[in-house]
Amino acid sequence: MSKKIDMSKFEKKMIIRNIEPADFDDIIEMSKVCFPNMEPWEREHLQSHVDIFPEGQFCVEYDGEIIGSCSSLIINFDEYDDQHTWDEITDNGYITNHDYEGYNLYGIEVMVHPEYRRMKIGHRLYEARKDLARELNLKSIIIGGRIPNYFKFAKEMTPRKYVEEVTMHNIYDPVLTFQVMNGFTMKRINPNYLEDDRASLRYATLMEWNNIDYRPTIPKRQFKTSFPVRITTIQYAMKKISSFEDFAIQCEYYTDVAASYHSDFAVFPEIFTLQLLSFLPEKSPSLAIRRLTEFTEDYIELFTNLAIKYNVNIIGGSHFVEEEGKIYNIAYLFRRDGTIEKQYKLHITPNERKFWGISGGNHVNVFDTDCGKIAIQICYDIEFPELARIAVDKGANIIFTPFCTDDRQGYLRVRYCSQARAIENQVYTVLSGTVGNLTDVENMDIQYAQSGIFSPSDFTFARDGIVGECQANIETVVVGDVDLEILRRNRRAGSVNQLRDRRHDIYSINYKQ
């Protein structure tokens, strides 16, 4: 009697999925094999793709090996010149010009490992793109395609004639023939498209696949004349209290003030929970901080309830939290729907390290809210420009900075850097600081603050780039509106455009997480 055949030993597994950071090395090596005479992808490019538009980056995994990949971004093609180059349409390969509100998926690269060609790997990747275009209700897919066999015919015919011959199937071109077979139609021929594409003599075909399922009557995007977001930033008084309930009353008062002005965000300062130490007898700073961490759950419960009760998103200042034996300075986002996020302070000041033994976090986070994407960078962190640039590349429109400084010099470091980040990154920034005194709390002797809301510097914003600011060193709030639609337009057509004009060809930021 014959044995039952084990079918599993014959099975092969092919998966089409989104690219992950663990795939980067394989994709870079594959690009060297697929395009030996062209510059390969760098990790910074691929990381930027995954950070900005992860759903638009696909790879084919065959029995655990990456054998094909493609990258894309969304644009509004009407905003670009028909004679654009690859560098212009991709922001030098980093796709930081990706526009979720655009109407066209733009394919910037497809590659299949030579050992696995004629297995319809490229076709599978193109189908994945088409499915994505249908899912996102995009009008079309546009590609700037190479014509890598043109160099063989350049002496005999013009690029246009070559394209016509390939389209009529009289000449085979591995890229253009493939694109025609996949339903793409010719729009035009672009010269000087890809600088190192010598085989195509730098020519490229601009081609388009139209999504016949596109539904213009379904409002996929809402273009607004304005998108105002109201912010109340709180200049919080550090004064002696007798209990956690006293602290809660003070916090609820300011949350109520923010809600009474119909604010979308209420912003509290850095480590303002140190006020709780004013009723604890511990004098040693390091031991007092351990005592303070015992209030973490009470603090989280308080602000979660306040955010829901008053229907306002709360940047809950920051609080010292113990995790696995270490103390971290953590800023929490309490959304008005009851969900919670947190951002660890990354750069620890000498004072925090010396007196309290604070450890630094490792991640730059960007959070989704009902008012767009935001980031939180605690005090000292705003003085490191790389962090703001990473956050904005991840989509942040507002950077909140809770801070605590003891003198004017320290405050001005935070303020000047916050305003610089607003200009450099075409983003709104917000400061919230502490004032007053805690005379019986060690290492919290004096406070200096002038909280404020800042904008980029251009005609469409406040004259001095100041949306609003408190008077220095008094207990108060400032309320201001920032407009995300004006910000979006400024990033497209401002007097200057710091984001688009970056020289990725000579410098980049390598975010290692």
Q: CA 409, CA 417: separation in Å to the nearest integer?
A: 12
Asked whether residue 264 falls in the same domain as residue 206, the answer is no
How is residue 352 annotated by DSSP?
I
Element (H or E) spanning 347, and its range? Answer: none
Which carries the bigger pLDDT value, residue 158 or residue 224?
158
Compare 334 and 445 and report the one with higher pLDDT. Answer: 334
Q: Does 5 reside within a domain?
A: no
The total number of residues written for the chain in this structure: 513
Residue type, 208: E
Q: Of the spans 32-36, 219-223, 319-323, which averages the highest pLDDT?
A: 319-323
Same domain for 270 and 205: no
Residue 134 lies in a domain: yes
511 found inside a domain: no
C-alpha span between 71 and 53 (Å, rounded): 9
Domain count along the chain: 2
**Residue 460 and residue 422 share a domain:** yes
Distance of alpha carbon 272 from alpha carbon 215, whole angstroms: 51
- Can you give the pLDDT at residue 88? 87
Residue 120 CB contacts under 8 Å (≥ 6 apart), including other chains: none
CA dist., res. 299 & res. 372, Å (int): 25
- CA gap 320, 292 in Å, rounded: 7
**Averaged pLDDT of the chain:** 91
Exposure string over 386-405, b if 16+ CB within 10 A, otherwise e:
ebbbbbbbbbbbbbbbbbbb
CATH number for position 290: 3.60.110.10
Torsion of CA 341, 347, 349, 354, to 10 degrees: 90
Checking if the pLDDT of 96 tops 90, the result is no
Q: How far is Cα 470 from Cα 450, in angstroms, rounded to an integer?
A: 6
The answer on 190 and 260 residing in a single domain is no
Q: Catalytic: which of 59, 109, 270, 383? A: 270
Q: Are residues 313 and 352 in the same domain?
A: yes
Residues with Cβ within 8 Å of 117's Cβ and at least 6 positions away in sequence, in order, are none
The pairing of beta strand 104-112 with beta strand 65-75? antiparallel
In a domain, 512, yes or no: no
- The answer to whether 238 and 436 have CB atoms below 8 angstroms apart is yes
Tell me the per-residue pLDDT of 385-413, one tens digit each, with 9 for 90 and over: 999 999 998 889 999 999 999 999 999 99
Both tokens of 96, joined, read: 């930081």
Nearest-Å Rg of the Cα atoms of the chain is 27
* 181 lies in some domain: yes
Dist. CA 448–CA 96, nearest whole Å: 37
Pair 285, 160 in one domain: no
Cβ neighbours around 299 below 10 Å, total: 22
User: How do residues 428-479 score in pLDDT, each as one tens digit?
Assistant: 999 999 999 888 887 777 899 999 999 999 999 988 999 999 999 999 999 9
Residues 189 and 294 placed together within one structural domain of the fold: no
Is residue 241 in some structural domain?
Answer: yes
Domain final residue, candidates 178, 210, 242? 210
Is 11 one of the annotated active-site residues of the chain?
Answer: no
Token pair, residue 26, equals 């394989």
User: What does the buried/exposed string (b/e) look like for 276-292 if buried means 16 or more CB atoms within 10 Å of the residue's CB?
Assistant: bbbeeeeeebeebbeeb
Question: Which of 151, 177, 210 is the last residue before a domain boundary?
Answer: 210
pLDDT attached to residue 6:
62
Strand 372-376 with 398-402, pairing: parallel
Any alpha helices (H) in 232-379, and if so which ranges? Answer: 244-260, 285-293, 296-310, 350-351
- Exactly one of 130, 139, 345, 394 is catalytic; which is it? 345
379, 404, 417, 470: the catalytic one is 379
Domain that holds residue 268: 229-493
Taking only the tens place, the pLDDT of each residue in 50-81 is 999 999 999 999 888 999 999 999 998 888 87
The answer to whether residue 215 sits within a structural domain is no
Same domain for 144 and 239? no
Q: Please check the confidence at residue 320 and state whether its pLDDT lies above 60.
A: yes
As a whole number, mean pLDDT of residues 194-218 equals 86
Q: What is the pLDDT of residue 296?
A: 96
pLDDT tens track for 102-141: 999 999 999 999 998 878 888 899 999 999 999 999 999 9
Dihedrals φ, ψ of 500, to 5°?
-75, -25
- Mapping DSSP to helix (H, G, I), strand (E, B) and coil, where does residue 272 land? helix
Q: Are 183 and 270 contained in the same domain?
A: no
Grade residue 223 by pLDDT with cuts at 50, 70 and 90.
low
Contact between 380 and 345 under an 8 Å Cβ cutoff? The reply is yes
Does 258 lie in the same domain as 376?
Answer: yes
State yes or no: is 379 an active-site residue. yes
Cα 222 to the center of its chain, rounded Å: 21
Residue 88 a catalytic site member = no
Distance CA 210, CA 389 (A): 35
- Determine the pLDDT at residue 60: 93
The pLDDT score that the predictor gives to residue 14 is 84
Read off the pLDDT of residues 335-392 as tens digits, 9 standing for 90 and up: 999 999 999 999 999 999 998 999 999 999 999 999 999 999 999 999 999 999 999 9
Q: Is 64 left (phi over 0), alpha (psi -120 to 50) or beta?
A: left
Boundary (domain end) residue, out of 210, 240, 274: 210
Residue 513 lies in a domain: no
Q: 349 near 378, Cβ under 8 Å?
A: no
Q: How many helices (H) and strands (E) does the chain have?
A: 13, 22
Residue 2, pLDDT > 60, answer no
CA–CA dist 381, 358 (Å, integer): 14
Same domain, 466 and 380: yes
